[in-house]
Amino acid sequence: MNSEKINKAIQEAKEGKQSAFNLLLNTYWKDIYHFQFSKTKNEDEAEDIAIKTFSRAFDKIDLYNPKFAFKNWLLSISHNILIDHNRKKKTETISINNSQEKGEIYRISDDAPSPEDRLIIEQNLAELLGYIKQLKPHYQEMIHLRYFQELSYKEISEAIGEPLNNVKVKLLRAKKLLTEIIKKEK
């Protein structure tokens, strides 16, 4: 796609036109996804980070400086999200097993939430469900399929009979609307 069409789409996205967001997403999805997949080597993580990239970029589209290539701006955002993602990964606990050879160390991932984490999760889940119920039914379904049934984007696409890119855009939109509801309620 030529730079004139991209610049027009960016301007229309700044005006809030959904078709412009869709065009930009479809144009740059593969680049961002492949960048993330090359870093994470995990399809689900790459998809999640790519979605977060477009979500953040579309939220901050007014900050885009046309002196730089839009793709490079997206890659920069994506790289920063990857750094944040890696920082949030679970901590490791080192265990020294005395029955094994002296000095041998085993890394054990500590995946269990702490008691405080469990309490916070339980309290916030009821509140979150209330927010989700404020969404339109098709957006509720997208959130439910992705985050409660933990289906992949491909599985959601097959379940609802829509193309994969439509699923990604609808889920992106559902998360954005949910964020707006939560901000408004707080």
For all residues of the chain together, what is the average pLDDT?
A: 82
Q: What's the pLDDT at 183?
A: 85
Are the beta carbons of 44 and 147 closer than 8 angstroms?
no
Residue 27: band (very low, low, confident or very high) from pLDDT cuts 50, 70, 90: very high
Residue 98 lies in a domain: no
The domain containing residue 169 runs over which residues? 133-185
Residue 46: name the closest of 153, 165, 169, 151 by CA: 153
CATH of the domain at 68: 1.10.1740.10
Rg of the chain on CA atoms, in Å: 20
Residue 116: band (very low, low, confident or very high) from pLDDT cuts 50, 70, 90: low
Residue 84: band (very low, low, confident or very high) from pLDDT cuts 50, 70, 90: confident
Q: What's the pLDDT at 184?
A: 85
pTM: 0.53
Residue 39 lies in a domain: yes
CATH of the domain at 176: 1.10.10.10
Domain count, the chain: 2
